[in-house]
Amino acid sequence: MREYFELFATFFKMGAITFGGGYAMLPILQREVVEGKGWCTNEELTDYFALGQCTPGIIAVNTATFIGFKQKGVPGAIVATYGVVAPSFFVIGLIAALLQNFADYAVVQNAFAGIRVAVTVLIFNAVCKLLKTSVTDKLTVCVFAAVGLASFFLDVSPVVFVLAAGLLGVAVKVWKEAAKK
């Protein structure tokens, strides 16, 4: 039972303090789940995050579900998912009730502008940490560059990039195995 409470509490905390969506949660996930709890590696977190982008739903919720499932199966997935969603449920209800009254105030607009900048820096830091474990050879450098350029110039869903990179990884592995024979 303690493990379920720890799953819930960890994801509740992440859900409560993360502003900016799933990408903003990435540095917190990396710190809490990889470095703090050891529930997965950086590589696994990258995989969960990629799968979270490709599956229907919110990236943060999907990633929490994957990690909860890894830890404690279906009950762990449910507990982690509920943990990450519960704070948003309460906060969104409160904000919806109050925001209309305060949205036009300069202090509120400036606060959100500052939060956006801070979240951007946190995402950048998490990406830099994940780059060290993900971009490790010539092929991954080429995939990184190709996806980076294509996503900048093309209006294509991130799912297409993730699926294409996954298929390329499988094709390269099959090709290398065939070349060994």
Name, in order, each residue with C-beta under 8 angstroms of 115's C-beta and a sequence gap of 6 or more: 19, 20
Residue 22's pLDDT is what? 67
| Structure-token match 């704070």, residue found | 87
Residue with tokens 């490790």: 136
Domain boundaries, the chain: 2-134, 136-181
* Alpha carbon separation from 5 to 2, 24, 45, 81, 144 (Å, rounded): 5, 24, 21, 12, 38
**8 A C-beta contact, residue 25 and residue 60:** yes
Q: What is the pLDDT of residues 23-55, one digit of tens each?
A: 777 888 888 889 999 998 888 888 888 888 777
Give pTM, 2 decimals.
Answer: 0.58
Smallest CA-to-CA distance from 40 within 102, 167, 130, 106 is with: 130
DSSP state of 17: H
Residue closest to 117 by CA, chosen among 30, 19, 36: 19
pLDDT score at 21? 66
CA dist., res. 4 & res. 77, Å (int)? 10
Which tens digits make up the pLDDT trace of 116-140? 898 888 888 888 888 888 888 999 9
